[in-house]
Amino acid sequence: MENLWAKIGETAGRIYNILLEGEKTLSQLEKILRKEGYSPSVIKMAIGWLAREDKVDVLKDNRKMVIKLKNP
């Protein structure tokens, strides 16, 4: 059985590095990360992890969510 906490932490780090390039929508992040083998549920948990640590802002713009770093 896979250690889920480790996978979520790894994914959070990857998301953080992607967001250093600029804000992304949830769809954009999922597209990038799914190509790298990350699952959609782990991606969402990792975004929650980063939000809980106050590293990202998650904004809703009409029908899409935008994720950006607070202090890159």
Q: What domains does the chain contain, in order, with CATH numbers?
A: 4-69 (1.10.10.10)
Q: How many CB atoms lie within 10 A of CB 31?
A: 11
Task: Supply the pTM of this predicted model.
Answer: 0.91
Whether 1 has a pLDDT exceeding 90, the answer reads no
Distance between CA 26 and CA 57 in Å, rounded?
12
The whole-number pLDDT of residue 45 equals 97
Residue 72 predicted with pLDDT over 80: no
- CB atoms near residue 47 (< 10 Å): 23
φ/ψ (deg, to 5) at 57: -105, 140
Q: Residue 12 has what pLDDT?
A: 97
Q: If DSSP codes are grouped into helix, strand and coil, which group holds residue 30? A: helix
Q: Express each pLDDT in 10-56 by its tens digit.
A: 999 999 999 999 999 999 999 999 999 999 999 999 999 999 999 99
